[in-house]
A and B are shown apart, each in its own frame.
Chain A
Amino acid sequence: MTLLEFRDVHVTYTGSRGRVPAVRGVDLALEAGQVLGVAGESGCGKSTLAMAVLRLLPKSAEVSGEILLDGEDLLTMGWGRLRAVRWTGASIVFQGAMHSLNAVQRIGRQVAEPMLVHDKDLSAAKAAKRAEALLERVGLPPSRARSFPHELSGGQRQRVMIAMALACDPDLIIADEATTALDVMVQAQVLQLISGLVKERGVGLVMISHDLSVLSATCDTAAVMYAGKVVEQGPAHEVFARARHPYSAALGAAFPVIGDPASRRNPGGLAGDPPDPGRLPEGCSFRPRCAVAVERCGEASPELLEVEGARLSACFVAQEGEPVVLG
């Protein structure tokens, strides 16, 4: 059965600048044991989508549509049930582990805490044992349980965050830019760890990142978001290597493949800045930055349609079978 499913999800913030749509109709699905990548730049709505899963959005956000976890709608369930889901159903690993950890509590206690809260019968000693085992599982010596967050390096703290996310055996893990701040080698270590966990425990993983190249290496499917909508979706590596939307092509080109002569001394990029969600252009929201735009793009917003096999693209040009990259 499908583990996680978004059905026409919309999120709108109401603030001093009026109503700002952050997510504008997203449909995505994830099977257990699979990895779904969501790529996009800051402000494209990818983090809002992640927060919406566990209803962590501020009160000013209005969510509509359905988010189904194991067939149960997270948006309409009662608070008691939601609490249970937050403990055991799904957990989020955020970026910036220093701010998410309590600076004056030892690591072991912080990892054990959710277990103790969730399972009233569990003894403190047993929870501490399990916390140590979890730390070992994410590649940290169990003795680290007695350390404080400031005694750990950035990579080690990020591992602690993953250990905390695993504490209650969730079925779904959402990693929001979980490796962004890390160095290449540490990032590789953490990614290896995450992929291993997916295979071994059969959990579902949603990886959110601005780095399409990282997603292509770790995910099964990738969805590229722009201005609150999914503009391209398909097998992760194909989306990265042969984009069918001009935005995914530009995003992919921002992370060149070493050894590829086309990208040598030719940094890929896009003119212009990401759009202001409060003032989206008419028609296709990518049109002002698009090099292949045609007249139609200014008139209507393209739907996300199948262009070949398992690949979907919300681009009129790609839907007509034309290439989306110039030159």
Chain B
Amino acid sequence: MSSDKVLTARGLRVEFGLPGGRVARAVDGVDLDVAPGEIVALAGESGCGKTTLARTLLGLERATGGEVAFGNVPLGRSTKALKAYRRQVQLVLQDPSGALNPRHTVYDAVAEGLRIHGITDDEPGRVAEALSRAGLRPPERFFLAYPHELSGGQRQRVVIAGALVLEPSILVADEPVASLDASVRGEILSLLLRLKEDAGLGALVITHDLGLAWSIADRIAIMYLGRIVEQGPVEQVLTEPRHPYTRALVSVLPDSPVAEPVVLAGELPDASRIPGGCRFRPRCQEVAAGNALKVLDQCEGVDPAVLGPDAEPHLVACHLDRALRDPARMSG
């Protein structure tokens, strides 16, 4: 894997000040890599910080700690550096109806990136090419259309074409199909998969839908309260989840590979009140069932370290998991 086009986050933190002097730690130490030619799914419940993470990766939100880098070059603050970076890393938003200016035609929406970056040679050709890569063929037929004249799936293709026109290496897609009709979803996901396979595009797909990750992603990172708690290849993480939170998420899906459904009580705590020790402990089914008695003092007192990138293919931030793995390793 060549590292010159890898999007990396190291120890990334994003904090927001709240009224009353409290601080919400929306992203609380995240290490993540996205390379060209791979699709990484970032999954978690709403409020876990996954959208903030995506916005920070795109330079739309300022990190309060850690760094984002592309091809080993840290993301600069200057307008020029950000602009160069954005030719490489592009965004696809959740709601294609809102992501397109209703007063702009499809042509203008797709050409916008070219105009911003001052790319003037063969604008119509580039726009046509991007539209057909996004599956809108023949592209000329869509040039003059307004967003409201298109279906939801077509609009999302226009948004994707608007990102592709700059020939980026990485796409960051925030819930790319959540607002689309069920039968149209597959088409958009197939498009992302095809772009990866044919053009070597990398993608970070943010989703709350684990089935989507199963359909297209190579790797998956599960996020809980601003931290990635488990990451690894999709097959391993989703069919043999090791973190109790991932296990619970997978267990409540229809026809789940985890036999007993575990419905966690309560809801995601506030990002300004992250529990000490392991942040998942108050809702952890293993702690509640008394399975974690041996490591309970660690669960209560020690924050599992931030998962490092790629040291091991399948990483889990859980004291119990580590305790269960270690003797196994020794005996084996």
Which positions in A face B, CB cutoff 8 Å? 41-42, 153-156, 183-189, 192, 210-214, 216-217, 240-241, 247, 250-251, 253-260, 263-271, 273-274, 289
Report which of A186, A213, A254, A259 forms a contact with B185, defined as CB distance below 8 A: A254
Whether the pair B211, A255 counts as a contact (CB closer than 8 A) is: yes
A213 to B256, CA, bound (A): 11
Residue of A with least CB distance to B211: A256
Whether the pair B182, A256 counts as a contact (CB closer than 8 A) is: no
Report which of A156, A240, A251 forms a contact with B183, defined as CB distance below 8 A: A251
20 CB contacts below 8 A, A to B, read A183-B45, A183-B46, A184-B209, A184-B253, A185-B263, A250-B186, A254-B182, A254-B186, A255-B254, A256-B211, A257-B211, A257-B253, A258-B250, A259-B257, A264-B214, A264-B234, A267-B215, A269-B183, A269-B189, A273-B184
Given contacts A264-B235, A267-B193, A269-B185, contact A184 B249 (CB under 8 A): yes
Given contacts A257-B254, A264-B235, contact A184 B186 (CB under 8 A): no
Whether the pair A185, B264 counts as a contact (CB closer than 8 A) is: yes
A211 to B212, CA, bound (A): 13
1/0 contact string of B161-202 vs chain A (CB within 8 Å) = 000000000000000000001111111111001000000000
1/0 contact string of B244-284 vs chain A (CB within 8 Å) = 00001110111111000101110110000000000000000
A94 to B234, CA, bound (A): 35
Whether the pair B267, A41 counts as a contact (CB closer than 8 A) is: no
Q: Is B238's CB within 8 Å of the partner chain A?
A: yes
Whether the pair B190, A267 counts as a contact (CB closer than 8 A) is: yes
Q: Is B64's CB within 8 Å of the partner chain A?
A: no
User: With a CB–CB cut-off of 8 A, which chain A residues contact B263?
Assistant: 185, 188-189, 192
For chain B, the count of residues having a C-beta within 8 Å of the partner chain is: 44
Q: Is B316's CB within 8 Å of the partner chain A?
A: no
Whether the pair A269, B235 counts as a contact (CB closer than 8 A) is: no
Whether the pair B248, A210 counts as a contact (CB closer than 8 A) is: no
User: With a CB–CB cut-off of 8 A, which chain A residues contact B214?
Assistant: 256, 258, 263-264
Report which of B182, B261, B268 forms a contact with A255, defined as CB distance below 8 A: B182
A265 to B183, CA, bound (A): 17
Q: Is B151's CB within 8 Å of the partner chain A?
A: yes
Given A255-B211, A271-B187, 7 other A-B contacts at CB below 8 A?
A185-B263, A217-B255, A258-B238, A259-B238, A269-B185, A269-B186, A273-B154
CB distance from B103 to the nearest CB of A (A): 23
Residue of B with least CB distance to A271: B187
User: With a CB–CB cut-off of 8 A, which chain B residues contact A251?
Assistant: 182-183
Residue of A with least CB distance to B48: A183
User: With a CB–CB cut-off of 8 A, which chain A residues contact B249?
Assistant: 184-185
Whether the pair A259, B254 counts as a contact (CB closer than 8 A) is: no
Residue of A with least CB distance to B135: A271
A153 to B257, CA, bound (A): 30
Whether the pair A184, B183 counts as a contact (CB closer than 8 A) is: no
User: With a CB–CB cut-off of 8 A, which chain A residues contact B152?
Assistant: 273
Whether the pair A256, B261 counts as a contact (CB closer than 8 A) is: no
Whether the pair A41, B248 counts as a contact (CB closer than 8 A) is: no
CB distance from B199 to the nearest CB of A (A): 16
Residue of B with least CB distance to A247: B183
1/0 contact string of B212-251 vs chain A (CB within 8 Å) = 1011100000000000000000110011000000001110
A239 to B257, CA, bound (A): 20
CB distance from B165 to the nearest CB of A (A): 24
Q: Is B210's CB within 8 Å of the partner chain A?
A: yes
Report which of B46, B182, B212, B264 forms a contact with A210, defined as CB distance below 8 A: B182
A253 to B214, CA, bound (A): 12
User: With a CB–CB cut-off of 8 A, which chain B residues contact A153?
Assistant: 267
CB distance from A143 to the nearest CB of B (A): 15
Whether the pair B187, A258 counts as a contact (CB closer than 8 A) is: no
Given contacts A259-B238, A265-B216, A269-B190, contact A186 B267 (CB under 8 A): yes
Report which of B46, B187, B215 forms a contact with A266, defined as CB distance below 8 A: B215
User: With a CB–CB cut-off of 8 A, which chain A residues contact B264?
Assistant: 185, 189
CB distance from B243 to the nearest CB of A (A): 14
Given contacts A250-B183, A264-B214, contact A273 B153 (CB under 8 A): yes
Whether the pair B193, A258 counts as a contact (CB closer than 8 A) is: no
Report which of B46, B187, B234, B250 forms a contact with A269, defined as CB distance below 8 A: B187
